[in-house]
Structure 1
Amino acid sequence: MTEQPYYLLPFDFTEISGKEVLVNELGDMIVSPKGTVQKIVDRSLPKNDLYKSLVSNFFISEQIIPPLVEVYAERLREKKRFLESWTGLHIFVMTLRCNQNCVYCQASSQNEDSIGCSMNKETMAKGVELMFRSPSDSITMEFQGGEPTLVPDVIEYGIQLAEEKNKTANKDIHYVLCTNSISLTDRMLEICKKYGVVISTSLDGPAFLHNANRGKIDSYEKVVAGIAKGREAVGHEKVSALMTTSVEGLNYPIEIVDEYVKLGFRSMFLRALNPYGLATHNDNWSDYTNRFIEFYKKAFEHILDLNRQGTYFVEEFAAIILRKILTPYCTGFVDLQSPAGVINSVLVYNYDGGVYCSDESRMLAEFNNYTFRLGSVNDRYEDLVFGKKAKEIANVWANEALAGCSDCAIKQYCGADPVRNYSTQGDMYGNRATSLLCRKNKAIIEYLISLMIERPEEVMPIFRSWGA
């Protein structure tokens, strides 16, 4: 028995791998034997190493106000530090035109020769003006589509405007081009080289799979050639690739990972389909989610094998989760933030001048659903980010205040997503009991924790090498 009473600090718990996993609001995690929480509540803990760990990591306190409450407060501020800088990511949807025909297209792309669906210079100028109204000291200007390289003139114009404005704004500014690499012309690459534009492309795996997903028999060949050209122009490490797991791709976890390794990438993001655009035609999302969880685990085990064999290779989604668990710092990944990344971390300027709270929300607009349209580039910045629509979204963007999330032990590692809730369940609040996103995220996070519990000597050196 303890010699004096102690006080409970906020924490939740769950059972993983036969252990009780305790997580406090700082994201600190303690793995303990089953029955520990009952002993904590009963005030029957012996003053052993576990007791000392619970005190030092702010799970319990021997005083009503912990002696190091200032440290507690600063650590909590650090976890929410992304809120201080406000919106750092600014996505410019340059065009809906595209030169591919992806079976899962989430951006509602149009044919390459379509008209009336590309951003003009006037809209770009107004978007850049709004971007610089953000109080963030560091901003990223990201060009998306469709295929943004089809409008190089407007991209270059936008960068030139940003560079000119930054002579007085003095912000740390970065540029990202999201492209399928099919149209990486010499001129586009010269723009990237001149302004330090990072290239983010997409590759879904081996040739047979990538070509099937893109609806083109030569897409893989052109993408690989584009990757090589991009690396030569801006540098190997400034060209990254993102894969999307189509229904067919679920059958090839090992082959997809190996393709990335073969092409010289040092990391990949195992990304599931999102329910937007053509991807909404998927017949059975529940089955897809279950299969994706198994796909992820198989691919991840292969990635662990590669690292054990001496090939450094990072799975980026896991790396984000692990940084949340194992370090005191916040992450900049907008999909796993609470309050949500919408508005707080990202704004989207659509080709037609509409301003949206996330890339996914502007995808809904292509189906005439303007629920998340904040306004237009003609509006004042304050009216966009503090207006009626923004306040409506803010009511449901913190998982600490959502039923099914507020008492979840792993909420500190997850995030709120009112846009996904609305698109799949019909309202921004959502229902965690039937949420497939919740099912997927929870399964993967608990899987990663189970690895740390069951195989620490094997996985922890790898996880630490990933920056966790």
Structure 2
Amino acid sequence: MRFEPAQAFAPEPAYILLPFRFRRLPWDSERVLLSSLSGDWMVIPADRLPPLVAGEIDPGDPLRLDLEARHFIAASADRATLAPLLSQIRTRKAYLQEGPALHIFVVSLRCHHSCAYCQVSRRPTGQSRFDMAQDASIHAVERLFEWPSPTLTIEFQGGEPLLHFDRVRSLTERIVERNRSEGRALRFVIASTLHDLTDEQLAFFAEHGFALSTSLDGPEWLHNANRPRPERDSYRRTVEGIERARRALGEDAVSALTTLTRRSLEAPEAIIDEYRKLGFPSIFLRPLSPYGFALKTKTRTGYTIEDFLTFYRRALDHLLAVNRAGYRMDEVYASLLLSQLMTPFSHGYVDLRSPTGAGLGAVVYDYDGWAYPSDEARMLAAMGDFTFRLGRVEETVDTWLRSEAMQRVLEAGVAEALPTCADCVFVPWCGADPIDHYARQGDTIGHRPTSDFCRKQMGMFDLLLEKWEVSEPQDRGILESWAFRKEPSSALQAAA
């Protein structure tokens, strides 16, 4: 029997390839965007990708050091350590350690307005049966303090919460009193039209350090069309409320957001200029959501994601021009995405969490004593779909977390484990948002390639990266400053 010498083993690769994702740049097909498990990223020539994967990047190549520093490759097995990579992942997911920090109390469904795009089932101002009852509010406060978060942001919503100010007052006072023994950091927010502010209310807000959030859809003609009142005075009353609140509480106490209808897409410059005229340092350009009256009136007020992205590109160009002219103003959602890209930290914005922020980052206590993992889940219930009801406020948080509704959210709540998302270059900075996919596609996982959520996210990331990369240094500096802006108010984060 003839003995054949053993085949020589191939030499070990010079480095270990760590998991990463990539995407050709839509504006330059000769280059690719890479993202690592840690959320680091870089752009390299497309022809460098095959040798990277094959383990052929030479030790003296400057690219080699950059790839190792950003956790795309590691040194050989006997010298490699994953400790820095794991530490950075823990930093990005730090919000998971504390539980929900945003707690939304819906104190009334009553409202003066008849907005066609409203996400909520609003009720006439005289129907007080749609106000939160005392018993429900007492139980809701008990549930609030069962959550472990050291910081609790309590946001009052409606309808118009000022129509049930007595409940806002009693809840605030009960929470403050209970907190004497709990020792949490409390932040109070109210989302209101600000139309009916009284001196008594402003004094109460000042005493408890409230932040106020309102809706301002643009100049008078647009705001009145989007947010009608019988008297056709919505814009005037909103502006008067903003100015009055600022005088009483300070310039920084009031924030605003705009909801975009089909009519709004024609006027990005006018919307931004209105915010500048009124002295706002930020603007939140929020597209329509598939809930409530917004869904019923979609054929009249709605538009495609492609239309939104075309609008957004115009808006971004104008915002950059406004900043170049010396007025500092950022767009809130762009700032949130850019902070994901430019910093190693996570802001914990509910829609950009993985695992999902629904139930893990926010909880909603509805006027009728039911609890939900997000405002979107509450809106679905208002439309007759109770899939995501957690339970009653009389039940414990532990019962809610074991509910079938929460299990459905969690099963589809990790973007890194979802079809298509698992391979997406943007997944380290994105979220799963199973309730949005359920609302749009009838399934918590959904079909990502045709998902409006995914098309919006990918379009926004592409646009911001393109602007950052191809712009003049001044514009690049403006975008980078947005990434490090102060944390947006919880009312803006909730996009209520």
TM-score range, shorter chain: over 0.9
- C-alpha change, 1:315 and 1:6, in structure 2 (3 Å) is same
What TM-score do you get using the length of structure 2 for normalisation?
0.91
CA-CA distance at 1:185 after TM superposition: 2.0
The aligned residue for residue 52 of structure 2 is 40
CA-CA distance at 1:68 after TM superposition: 4.4
The aligned residue for residue 283 of structure 2 is 268
CA-CA distance at 1:63 after TM superposition: 2.1
The aligned residue for residue 12 of structure 1 is 21
The aligned residue for residue 329 of structure 1 is 345
The aligned residue for residue 493 of structure 2 is none
- C-alpha change, 1:456 and 1:137, in structure 2 (3 Å) is farther
Alignment size in residue pairs: 467
The aligned residue for residue 455 of structure 1 is 471
1:274-353 → structure 2 map (5 Å cutoff):
274-281=289-296, 282-283=298-299, 287-353=303-369
1:57-96 → structure 2 map (5 Å cutoff):
57-64=70-77, 67-96=80-109
Is residue 28–residue 57 contact of structure 1 (8 Å, CA) maintained in 2?
Answer: yes
The aligned residue for residue 406 of structure 2 is 390
Is residue 287–residue 308 contact of structure 2 (8 Å, CA) maintained in 1?
Answer: yes
| Equivalent of 1:188 in 201, 204, 208 | 201
CA-CA distance at 1:358 after TM superposition: 0.2
- Once the two structures are superposed, what CA deviation does each residue of 1:88-144 show, in whole Å capped at 9, x if it has no partner? 100001111001111100011111112321101211111111011110000100000
> Structure 1 residue 132 and structure 2 residue 145: aligned?
yes
Is residue 355–residue 377 contact of structure 1 (8 Å, CA) maintained in 2?
Answer: yes
> Structure 1 residue 247 and structure 2 residue 262: aligned?
yes
Matches of 1:244 and 1:71 in 2, distance apart? 41
- Once the two structures are superposed, what CA deviation does each residue of 1:383-432 show, in whole Å capped at 9, x if it has no partner? 11233321222110011011010100011121111111111101111110
Is residue 262–residue 302 contact of structure 2 (8 Å, CA) maintained in 1?
Answer: no
Question: RMSD of the TM alignment (CA)?
Answer: 1.6
What TM-score do you get using the length of structure 1 for normalisation?
0.97
Is residue 100–residue 363 contact of structure 2 (8 Å, CA) maintained in 1?
Answer: yes
User: Which stretch of the first structure deviates more once superposed, 372-381 or 279-288?
Assistant: 279-288
Is residue 21–residue 424 contact of structure 2 (8 Å, CA) maintained in 1?
Answer: yes
- C-alpha change, 1:66 and 1:192, in structure 2 (3 Å) is farther
Matches of 2:418 and 2:218 in 1, distance apart? 37
Matches of 1:66 and 1:452 in 2, distance apart? 36
User: Which stretch of the first structure deviates more once superposed, 182-191 or 92-101?
Assistant: 182-191
Is residue 421–residue 427 contact of structure 1 (8 Å, CA) maintained in 2?
Answer: yes
* Secondary structure at 2:299 match in 1: coil
User: Which stretch of the first structure deviates more once superposed, 135-144 or 177-186?
Assistant: 177-186
One-letter identity of the residue aligned with 2:292? G
CA-CA distance at 1:309 after TM superposition: 1.6
- Once the two structures are superposed, what CA deviation does each residue of 1:326-358 show, in whole Å capped at 9, x if it has no partner? 101011210111111101100000000000010
Is residue 348–residue 362 contact of structure 1 (8 Å, CA) maintained in 2?
Answer: yes
State the percentage of identical aligned residues: 36
* Secondary structure at 2:21 match in 1: strand
- C-alpha change, 1:456 and 1:66, in structure 2 (3 Å) is farther
* Secondary structure at 2:129 match in 1: coil
> Structure 1 residue 107 and structure 2 residue 123: aligned?
no
1:401-420 → structure 2 map (5 Å cutoff):
401-420=417-436
CA-CA distance at 1:284 after TM superposition: 8.5
Larger Rg: 2
- C-alpha change, 1:32 and 1:101, in structure 2 (3 Å) is same
* Secondary structure at 1:243 match in 2: strand
One-letter identity of the residue aligned with 1:24? S
1:202-221 → structure 2 map (5 Å cutoff):
202-216=215-229, 217-221=232-236
Matches of 2:39 and 2:300 in 1, distance apart? 34
> Structure 1 residue 439 and structure 2 residue 455: aligned?
yes
CA-CA distance at 1:42 after TM superposition: 2.0
The aligned residue for residue 227 of structure 1 is 242
* Secondary structure at 2:194 match in 1: coil
Matches of 1:372 and 1:185 in 2, distance apart? 37
Matches of 2:401 and 2:205 in 1, distance apart? 30
- C-alpha change, 1:110 and 1:367, in structure 2 (3 Å) is same
User: Which stretch of the first structure deviates more once superposed, 183-192 or 440-449?
Assistant: 183-192
Matches of 1:330 and 1:162 in 2, distance apart? 28
One-letter identity of the residue aligned with 1:6? Y
Is residue 247–residue 288 contact of structure 1 (8 Å, CA) maintained in 2?
Answer: no
Is residue 20–residue 36 contact of structure 1 (8 Å, CA) maintained in 2?
Answer: no
One-letter identity of the residue aligned with 1:274? S
- C-alpha change, 1:286 and 1:175, in structure 2 (3 Å) is closer
Matches of 1:4 and 1:278 in 2, distance apart? 59
One-letter identity of the residue aligned with 1:13? F
* Secondary structure at 1:339 match in 2: coil
CA-CA distance at 1:465 after TM superposition: 2.2
Matches of 2:292 and 2:196 in 1, distance apart? 23
Matches of 2:73 and 2:419 in 1, distance apart? 25
Matches of 1:66 and 1:10 in 2, distance apart? 18
Matches of 1:433 and 1:466 in 2, distance apart? 29
Is residue 267–residue 314 contact of structure 1 (8 Å, CA) maintained in 2?
Answer: yes
* Secondary structure at 2:154 match in 1: strand
Is residue 286–residue 436 contact of structure 1 (8 Å, CA) maintained in 2?
Answer: no
